[in-house]
Structure 1
Amino acid sequence: MINWLIQQSILISLVCAFILLFHKPLLKQLGAHHMYSLWLAIPLMLLGSLILQFVPNLLAESKLDTFEHYRVLASLAVKNSESLIPIPLVAALWLSGMTVMAALLLLQRRYLNKLLSKSKPYAHTQNCDLKNHTPILADTLPILQSPEITSPMLTGVIKPMIIVPADFHKLTAKQQQAVLDHEQFHHERGDIITNLLAYGLLAIFWFNPLCWLAYRRFRDDQELACDAQITSSMNTDEKIAYSHALLAYSQHAQMGMLHTHYGNKNILKERIIQMKKQHGKSTIAIIAMTLGLGLASLMLNQQVLAGDHQSSSKESAKESSEKSTKAIKSQAHSIHPLTRVEPKYPKEAAEANQNGYVQLKFDISKSGMVSNVKVIKSSPKGVFDKSAVKALKQWVYKKSKKGAKGSKVQLDFVIDEPAANVERIKVTAN
């Protein structure tokens, strides 16, 4: 689990860094709607990782060899991990962070419940639609008023509602309607649920500072996309009125996991500028972008996980680009490992620049557990045996009706991979 988190955190960091670094030109070229959709790359990438984890047959596997080969690389990180932070401690720290994130979510839920209990229906819009001066439609969200907030917000997953501040009535009718339309569009687009999912991902990768920066930028892009939707049909005077509403409620940034934050002084200038640079919203373009991101995410994860399922000598030429355990060939049956614990490269062997391999024989139970692990052959003898056996005992295979007896695996311990431009030919003796 920890290895998977680190692996995905690296991939997420690459995507977040790209979007954050090139946000300004991307926003200029794509527009607010498509820029907001670009954040789909992160959940789609994680989904691709899960697909490859649970459907490993997507990667072609050779079924000609008796031995399953895995490559274990020695690096400073692997070598020093034995003496730095134990895996159980890392897991405990990660769970502690998750607990804190969950506690913050519960605290905000408690705050919103308290806020709602003290809020009252907004009398100025109970019986009249601000735009047409007609009765409010039944599907309009309930509008409450509270003196404890300084900016309008949308909240509620099961019972969504809009809460406005005490001075909301001071805005003109057009400004009020524009603000309410803004929050209504948040609801129609399902932004509260989207924000919860985004916060869930942030809670999982709370240790990654780029994820925090990306989460804030994602929420800001959400507001820009909403502004683009509401102002797309406005004339110049109406946009000016909408800008005045932004000025009135952009004194405090109310970033919340369970509500939207209409007032955000940090991106006030950006929001006003974007209203002057309207881009169209193409549903086909968004669908195409989503499919493209999904395919790219699947391919990226496949490249990273290719080390888990190499199929031939042609694919093995790409092994040098992988930083984790490399799977070269697969067993001659359909029972494949779902969880593999990478053996620790013995410190003494790494310091001595020593390579080697261990061939192991073992049984797989119906539940996928490994047992009866025995060393068939190793070189140098006894150097890597203990590390290989300890790791293999923790592997978990796919559940099956009969299990497997006498499965075989070879773990190759290699200090450094050759350069990518060096041709490699694997020679075996039968």
Structure 2
Amino acid sequence: MSLWLLQQTLLLSLICSILLLGHSRLQKHLGAHKTYTLWMLLPLLLLSSILVNYVPTQLFPVQSNQIAYYSVQAGKAIKQSESSWYSQALTVIWLIGLSTMSLALWLQGAYLRTLLQTAKKVEGLASYLATYSHEKVHSPMLVGVIHPKIILPTGFVNLSPLQQRAIIEHEQYHHQRLDLSCNLLAYGILAVFWFNPLFWIAYRRFRNDQELACDAKVTATLDTAEKIVYSKLLLAYSQQANHGLLHTHYGNKHILKERIMQMRTHQQGQSGLAVIGLTVALGLSSLLLNQQVLAGDDKNPDIHPVIRIEPAYPAAAVEANQNGFVVMQFDITPTGEVNNVEVIKSSPTAVFDASAIKALKQWRYSESKTGAKGSLVQLDFVVEAPVSNIEKIKVTSK
């Protein structure tokens, strides 16, 4: 888990840096809508890192007449035993942070449920979503992923029809675009990687881009005078805006200037093909970066392992500084399961056999029509890795 978190935080930090540093240029050339859409790269990259173990690879194929070799190093087990307290402490700290983030989300959900219980329903508005008002709400917001509702300030009824329509359209566009679900997803990623400061900056930029995209949608058909009215509305509601994790925030004083400047320039952005191209390129890059080197089957090049479980190095062998190997023969079923595992050679005899058999039985291969019979694999158990400047030659018999 720790290794996965480290790998993903490095990759996602790179993507966040690109989106943050290039934000102004992206906003200028792509527009608010497409720039906001680019943030979906982060969950897509995470999804690819999870699915990559189930994606067959032919990057490093093994010839059909070769045995598959794998090295099992005791150094990993030694390091794990020496630093177990350290890794356990880091895991506890990470879990505390994750629990705190989860608690904050739950508390806000409880607060919003209490708020809705005392809110008053507002009738007569041109909205397909249920609308309510509450004296504790100082800025319009959309709440509820499953049953969405718009909560308005009590003074909303005193606004002009144009202002009311603009606010309702803004919140309804949040709903149409599933922004609340996106917010939950973004917060979930933040909760997992809470230890990375860059993710907090990216999360805030994501939420701000969300509002910019809604502004662009609402003001697309407004004339200059109507945009001025809309700008004054933003100014009024940004002073005491309700910020939260489970609802949108119409008023946002932190990017007020940026929102008003966007209405003046009204950048529509280029074709969506640019976004699609960038998304595909980064998605493929993530698959390559996350891809593990998997060896092919020795009999059928179309069958390759999708899950490999590394054997545990026997504690007695570690203490005795003992190396060895195990050669096993096995069958692969059409569904990819391993059975009929048999040790055909091992050295020292019976020292590493049990550990090797237990691990191999948990391996899974890609599905095929006929499976494979008599596949061979050799697991080399090495206490210490060879020195890098020593020439290594593999000798095989014909």
With the length of structure 2 as denominator, give the TM-score of the two structures: 0.77
Cα offsets for 1:332-370 (capped at 9, x unmatched): 4636252545989x9xx9xxxxxx995554879989689
Cα offsets for 1:103-161 (capped at 9, x unmatched): 22221111111000111023xxx23x5xxxxxx3xx62121101112211001122211
Matches within 5 A, 1:12-31: 12-31=12-31
Match of 1:277 in 2: 265
**2:384 is equivalent to residue 408 of structure 1:** no
Any unmatched runs of 5+ in structure 1?
A: 130-135, 310-326, 350-355, 419-423
Contact residue 198 and residue 215 of structure 1 kept, 8 A:
yes
RMSD: 4.2
| Alpha-carbon spacing, 1:357–1:173, altered in 2? closer, same or farther (3 Å) | farther
What SS does the aligned partner of 1:167 have?
A: helix
Match of 1:187 in 2: 175
Match of 2:118 in 1: 118
Match of 1:308 in 2: 293
Match of 2:224 in 1: 236
**2:229 is equivalent to residue 260 of structure 1:** no
Query: Match of 1:6, as an amino acid?
Result: L
Q: Percent identity?
A: 35
Contact residue 151 and residue 249 of structure 1 kept, 8 A:
yes
Contact residue 360 and residue 375 of structure 1 kept, 8 A:
yes
Equivalents in 1 of 2:372, 2:144: separation in Å?
49
Equivalents in 1 of 2:269, 2:388: separation in Å?
48
Contact residue 308 and residue 363 of structure 2 kept, 8 A:
yes
**2:51 is equivalent to residue 51 of structure 1:** yes
| Alpha-carbon spacing, 1:64–1:404, altered in 2? closer, same or farther (3 Å) | closer
Match of 1:41 in 2: 41
Match of 2:11 in 1: 11
**2:265 is equivalent to residue 299 of structure 1:** no
| Alpha-carbon spacing, 1:210–1:359, altered in 2? closer, same or farther (3 Å) | farther
What SS does the aligned partner of 2:147 have?
A: coil
Instruction: State the Cα distance separating 1:179 from its structure 2 match.
Output: 1.5
| Alpha-carbon spacing, 1:66–1:204, altered in 2? closer, same or farther (3 Å) | farther
Equivalents in 1 of 2:266, 2:145: separation in Å?
30
Matches within 5 A, 1:91-102: 91-102=91-102
Equivalents in 1 of 2:52, 2:130: separation in Å?
44
**2:307 is equivalent to residue 338 of structure 1:** yes
Equivalents in 2 of 1:407, 1:90: separation in Å?
39
Equivalents in 2 of 1:332, 1:99: separation in Å?
48
Contact residue 299 and residue 372 of structure 2 kept, 8 A:
no
Cα offsets for 1:352-396 (capped at 9, x unmatched): xxxx99555487998968998979678xx9xxx98x959984994
Any unmatched runs of 5+ in structure 2?
A: none
Aligned match for 1:290, one of 273, 276, 297: 276
Equivalents in 2 of 1:220, 1:109: separation in Å?
21
Query: Match of 1:42, as an amino acid?
Result: L
Match of 1:251 in 2: 239
Match of 1:316 in 2: none
Cα offsets for 1:66-117 (capped at 9, x unmatched): 4334578999x99966544555555454444433333222211111110001
What SS does the aligned partner of 1:241 have?
A: helix
